[in-house]
A and B are shown apart, each in its own frame.
Chain A
Amino acid sequence: MHPIRLILTLLLALLLTGAPGALAQADTVEALVRALPEGGYSEREKVIFALAETGDDRVARLLSVLGEGDLYLHEADGRVVAARRSGEGYAISDALSGEALGTVEKGALEKIRVNNRLRRAIDGAIAQLTLMSPRAPVRLSAARNLLKTAEPDALDLLDKALARESDADVRRVMEQARAAIVLKTETSVEEQLAAVEMLAERGDREALAMLTGALAGAAPPVQSALRSGIASVERRLALWDALQNVWYGLSLGSVLLLAAIGLAITFGVMGVINMAHGEIVMLGAYTTFAVQQVIRTSFPGLFDYSLAIALPLAFLIAALVGIAIERGIIRWLYGRPLETLLATWGLSLVLQQTVRTIFGPNNREVGNPAWMSGAFELGGLSITWNRLWIVAFALFVFAVLLAVLNRTQLGLQMRAVTQNRRMASAMGIRTPWVDAMTFGLGSGIAGMAGVALSQIDNVSPNLGQSYIIDSFMVVVFGGVGNLWGTLVGAFTLGVVNKFLEPYAGAVLGKILILVFIILFIQRRPRGLFALKGRAVDA
């Protein structure tokens, strides 16, 4: 340790504790730790207090290990170590640094014992250490912890911490924790009312539980305040629930959008019904799986980039398959939509069985890269990273596609061919090439959708089938030949679905949606955003 810091630490320890001389002389953290095994419980308690006063970050961890009874004296070299059972012996690590020190036999260790009084002292010390920690995040999590436990003993400590707290966020949580404690203890009505108000303002499920818990033993004026507090929290929670449903709906909608947007091109723009669309999505998902397999075996370091590698690859593979389908089958069937439907359905069976033969019939595991795992809280919402990325990705794909259709040469030619094939051909546009490219584009997007779906769904040969009907519903609902319709259709169906689910259950909700769309098509056979005019009827 740096000499100056050593001196400062010693001085601080002396100033704060005024502890007996024997301890004071050796008041470095290391020395205190070495002192832990010595003497009886009362001496150990003093050492714990002294350790708490050091304010050292490492002490909290050490104390919690001690509280759990996992702290030992390594008899051979007199070191204090944390030990955990590992096979026959114990894996030990340095009590302060956490550095692994190998495995030893049980006989080489002597447990540093604690009793209930010591445990209370340890809890207090840890709370003190963390609540007074110089780092705000540590204080915040300590305050949250206290809010959950609402330990009445901690009230004094909390008041001390509040007195010196400067960070507004941490301060609020501390005040809420204090309110939670106040509600549990015998205090004046005014104080209790203030506490109720404080907790109602927090407004989450924990606050609701605390308020409801306090209702039984409260004084009449406090009770009515509690009731209105509970009501306001419930209103707030209902709002957050609705928002959460909207989020789930948007998330489902983005999945539908991804699956349907390629279809919106092949069906909407070209008028070709491709029942093998779902299987192209599936090919994209299996591409992701294959890429991850290669990465796992050969370049494990690249795992976090697996999706970035899989995306263009899936686009390419799916687009090539799509072009092959268009050139091989669909071009012979233009103008015969029902035949196209049957032929591509047959193709979907072949693709499914091919994948089943190569990869087997079972689900394949596709991993989430680190940046797509986990979740975060936003107000009362819990948002998982993979869903968020998929929403963003769906919107990104949509924007790119819109740009391709409206801003590029290919897009211009595609629209020209759609509107008047013969005219376009007369003007020198190679219509067969445009057909193939359009189909390739639609399929390529389906492939990318497969990469995204592999992150949230099972990758199996049936992946495509589960999306094909939903995708058609989205395109038909939104209106054919209109990408914006597909966007609105996907998100509407997603959100409606998620709102129905809590009331009707998942299956019945889905049935209701199907019935709704069947009825909707009766009302507006051409979807939400239909084109009007003579050409449509022709």
Chain B
Amino acid sequence: MITKTLLRALDGKALWVLAALLLIAIAVPASNLALPSGHPLRVPDHFVPLLGKYLTYAMLALALDLVWGFCGILSLGHGAFFALGGYAMGMYLMRQIGDRGVYAHPILPDFMVFLNWKELPWFWYGFDMFWFSAVMVVVAPGLLAFVFGWFAFRSRVTGVYLSIITQAMTYALMLAFFRNDMGFGGNNGLTDFKDILGAPIQAGTTRAALFAASAVALGLCFLVCSAIVNSKLGKVLVAVRDAESRTRFLGYRVERYKLFAFTASAMMAGLAGALYVPQVGIINPGEFAPANSIEIVIWTAVGGRGTLVGPIIGAVLVNAGKSWFTGLFPEFWLFALGGLFVAVTLFLPRGIVGTLADAWHAMKARHRPASLEEGSPRPPKGSARMDPSPAE
């Protein structure tokens, strides 16, 4: 069953996206490492982590799209899941510093020595092991999303209310992580990382590997999302988005569907955060700021929510624009970003990809109006008998 579901996820469009991601996963690191510096086709050193950062943002936007675009849950707190994943990775990287810190303490990170802590807090145990940290990267945000969502969806908090309390959630976490006695480095967060899995974090090869890992992870997330939205599960999610109460009267436990999408999305966001941290070299409580979470929403909106390619394009475009803009006219970036919010909601509600797709369909419909109804794809028919019950 699972393979079938996965195969269905690999429809024509998804294959193209995966191929493109695989291509850049190989091409960018290869061009950076193999070509001599100064070569016109070489990706400059500082570009590799920058592009890698965009890819993690694209993952984050994709994760948000799964809940917002397909399930109608506008989360204004997805930055919190991203940051939690980032902190889990940051804790691993801190423990990898070992005794090379300023205070040269064999176990305690610098900020704990500075705060006169005598021993490692219990929640830092295990983060010296990569596998444990990798698990926590998805488990911590997933758990938060599960608990939060379990309460929120069960009591049918929807729409704007849900958006506001997700914002309150990330705001509360931001305040909490700013406190020194939380044990996460307070204001300064976690930084000064040395190496990851034994490889020096600043080295060109490590950065190339991290970039490739980001591209592969984005591809995996895309595949999972595609497997979800192309299945009946995805159709139920859209049904919840469009007519929640109708879905309930059909006998679907809406809250469980929402909880699944929200938790899965949070885990993807956590993974994105974990790949983000080693590439930018720092994680601090500022990542929890409500403004960050709302910015994710605009990436998704610009690209086109309710499509899987849209958020990826949107995240890369908006962030490339931001890098370019803040370099040239730092004063005006907020004007541009604010204007973008207004313009997209007013004039481009379906985003770039959605608008293009509409135009494409309209054009196709004009060319062969008669064949449209009969010629569109049908669900698989007449294949071998299948048991529709779950395969777990």
Residues of A within 8 A of B (CB): 273, 329, 332-333, 337-343, 345-354, 357, 465, 469, 472-473, 476, 507-508, 510-511, 514-515, 517-519, 521-523, 525, 537
Closest to B148 in A: A518
Q: Does B152 contact A (CB under 8 A)?
A: yes
Tell me the smallest distance from the CB of A531 to a CB of chain B, in Å.
Answer: 14
Tell me the smallest distance from the CB of A500 to a CB of chain B, in Å.
Answer: 13
Tell me the smallest distance from the CB of B369 to a CB of chain A, in Å.
Answer: 31
Inter-chain contact B157/A341, CB cutoff 8 Å: no
Which one of A329, A341, A346, A508 has the highest number of Cβ atoms from chain B below 10 Å of its Cβ? A346
Closest to B153 in A: A522
Given contacts A329-B342, A350-B339, contact A514 B152 (CB under 8 A): no
Closest to B294 in A: A345
Known contacts A342-B301, A346-B298, A346-B337; can you find 17 more A-B pairs with CB under 8 A? A273-B164, A329-B342, A338-B159, A340-B345, A341-B74, A342-B294, A343-B346, A349-B337, A353-B332, A353-B334, A354-B335, A465-B291, A472-B164, A473-B168, A476-B165, A507-B179, A510-B172
Which one of A510, A511, A517 has the highest number of Cβ atoms from chain B below 10 Å of its Cβ? A511
Closest to A325 in B: B342
Inter-chain contact A525/B155, CB cutoff 8 Å: yes
Tell me the smallest distance from the CB of B241 to a CB of chain A, in Å.
Answer: 11
Chain A to chain B: the 5 pairs with minimum beta-carbon distance, closest first = A346-B341, A349-B338, A350-B338, A353-B334, A514-B172
Closest to B151 in A: A522
Pick the residue among A346, A352, A354, A521 that contacts B161 (CB under 8 A): A521
Closest to B346 in A: A332
Pick the residue among B290, B335, B346 that contacts A329 (CB under 8 A): B346
In the complex, chain A residues whose CB is within 8 Å of the CB of B339 = 346, 350
Tell me the smallest distance from the CB of B288 to a CB of chain A, in Å.
Answer: 12
Closest to A349 in B: B338
Q: Does B286 contact A (CB under 8 A)?
A: no
Q: Does B297 contact A (CB under 8 A)?
A: yes
In the complex, chain B residues whose CB is within 8 Å of the CB of A472 = 164, 167-168
Tell me the smallest distance from the CB of A141 to a CB of chain B, in Å.
Answer: 45
Inter-chain contact B176/A511, CB cutoff 8 Å: yes
Closest to A518 in B: B165
Residues of B within 8 A of A (CB): 74, 148, 151-152, 154-161, 163-165, 167-169, 171-172, 175-176, 178-179, 245, 290-291, 294, 297-298, 301, 331-332, 334-335, 337-342, 344-346, 349
Given contacts A507-B175, A522-B157, contact A350 B168 (CB under 8 A): no
Inter-chain contact B160/A515, CB cutoff 8 Å: no
Which one of B163, B172, B178, B339 has the highest number of Cβ atoms from chain A below 10 Å of its Cβ? B172
Inter-chain contact A522/B175, CB cutoff 8 Å: no
Inter-chain contact A342/B298, CB cutoff 8 Å: yes
Which one of B164, B171, B179 has the highest number of Cβ atoms from chain A below 10 Å of its Cβ? B164
In the complex, chain B residues whose CB is within 8 Å of the CB of A357 = 331
A357–B335 Cα gap in the complex (Å)? 11
Tell me the smallest distance from the CB of B38 to a CB of chain A, in Å.
Answer: 39
Given contacts A353-B334, A469-B290, A511-B176, contact A518 B161 (CB under 8 A): no
In the complex, chain A residues whose CB is within 8 Å of the CB of B172 = 510-511, 514-515, 518
A514–B157 Cα gap in the complex (Å)? 16
Pick the residue among B148, B156, B168, B334 that contacts A349 (CB under 8 A): B334
Given contacts A507-B175, A511-B176, contact A346 B160 (CB under 8 A): no
In the complex, chain A residues whose CB is within 8 Å of the CB of B301 = 342
Q: List 15 A-B contacts (CB under 8 A).
A: A342-B294, A342-B301, A343-B341, A347-B338, A347-B341, A349-B334, A349-B337, A353-B331, A353-B334, A473-B164, A514-B171, A514-B172, A517-B168, A518-B148, A522-B152
A519–B345 Cα gap in the complex (Å)? 31
A476–B157 Cα gap in the complex (Å)? 11
Inter-chain contact B341/A349, CB cutoff 8 Å: yes
Inter-chain contact A343/B160, CB cutoff 8 Å: no
Tell me the smallest distance from the CB of A27 to a CB of chain B, in Å.
Answer: 70
In the complex, chain A residues whose CB is within 8 Å of the CB of B340 = 346
Tell me the smallest distance from the CB of B286 to a CB of chain A, in Å.
Answer: 14
